[in-house]
Amino acid sequence: MAEVILMPKLGFNMNEGKLVKWYKQEGETIEKGEKIFSVETDKTNIDIEATGDGIVRKLFIEEGETLPVTLPIAIVSTAEENINEILSGAMAQLGREMPEASSALEKEDSRRIKITPRARRAAAENNLGIEGLNITGTGFDGGICEKDILEYLASNKVKVTPTARAMAKSKGVNLDEIQGSGINGRIMKADVEASINLENEPREAVVRSASEGKFTSDGKEILEELPYEGVRKIIGDRLSQSKFTAPHLYFTQKVNLEKLLETRKEVNTVQEHKTSVTDFITKAVVKALVKFPELNSSLIDGKSIVRYKTVNIGIAVASPTGLIVPNIKSSENMSVLALSKASAPLFKKAREGKLAVSEYTGGTFTVSNLGMFGIENFTAIINPPEVGILAVSATKDEALVVTHADGSKTVEIKPMMNIQLTVDHRLIDGLLAAQFVTDIKNSLENPISLLV
């Protein structure tokens, strides 16, 4: 039976998805469990597997396209199955018109070129007009595949420099109409420029120099230009919404880590799995969240405050696509050692970009530790819908006034660390936040309390 593949909703805040890659093309067979496509979420790319066997009969969107969640993106069925009705319904959902002839649903009209999305993109990238191509397709039902386009290019290759090709594409210039001035007729950048009436175009913010460089109109040389899209844009949009929707309030404490470092050293001598300072900090935060459940909560849709008994502690990690926050589920009853063992595989998967959606969603509070990079102080933005985040800075030897039992005071050098709590002031008052961050400080300065 035919299956309509939908753009999946993979997160609480996910309203649309960007299709990153098709692993299968129209006409190709697929088996249950095989990867069919990859979709971009707000934190990483997720590979989606087929739920049954069949043939990919229709792909509705191309790689790089964005579509609202739950809309159809593909149809998988047997080769013999009539998908007219299903295809019609899917096209209606997408707001697209059906081909005029009903027979085109199963077999394209002879006047229409059958071509896969990947092949169409390859042709567009090389400025090939689809209608004018004389290519025999080797794909499903005679359709043109990407390899057909590549073979055509190899046998009819227009000699052109990469810069000239990029400029021709951006300006809509047909390379077939340009006579190259380079060696063996190679098309150069100057040849493309000569075919463009620059005088009739408005001056751009970015102009090119004669030496192939890129400069702004006021003379700054450009290293590279990147589109603001994908994961970086999603993260930016979410953090902007958090910063300008939730009134952020900040509370900073200095922590003396002398006892904690000594305790950690002693603990690690008697156990095979070594714990880190971050593990102790995580335990201190979890302990404080149990004591102050107001910080272990969410504001849902601006209408209700949900406080959680379960503590899903998130720890920010740098990944290939940006900062991601894997979270340790049900951490409220875990020891320092258990937290360390639970976090290690999550950190590894995060750095490799292999986290599952369930491993970085559902958090109730976040810890962001930049101490390993030598950062002495920083301010973190709340990860919605949470109501707080703790920023942890580097440990640094500093002069500290120490008061002794007899009342005397001395100045001593101690390993000191800054921690800064950010809270959503809509839900958390100053007094509660101060008590929370002070509780964390007290736990870290008396680490034996974290081991009992």
Mind telling me the catalytic residues? 425
Write a three-state SS string for the chain: CCEEEECCCCCCCCCEEEEEEECCCCCCEECCCCEEEEEECCCCEEEEECCCCEEEEEECCCCCCEEECCCEEEEEECCCCCCHHHHHHHHHHHCCCCCCCHHHHCCCCCCCCCECHHHHHHHHHCCCCHHHCCCCCCCHHHCECHHHHHHHHHHCCCCECHHHHHHHHHHCCCHHHCCCCCHHHCECHHHHHHCCCHHHCCCCCEEECCCCCEEECCCCECCCCCCCCHHHHHHHHHHHHHHHHCCEEEEEEEEECHHHHHHHHHHHHCCCCCCCHHHHHHHHHHHHHHHCHHHCEEEECCCEEEECCCCCEEECEEECCEEECCEECCHHHCCHHHHHHHHHHHHHHHHCCCCCHHHHCCCCEEEEECHHHCCCCCCCCCCCCECEEEEEEEEEEEEEEEECCCCCEEEEEEEEEEEEEEEECCCCCHHHHHHHHHHHHHHHHCHHHHCC
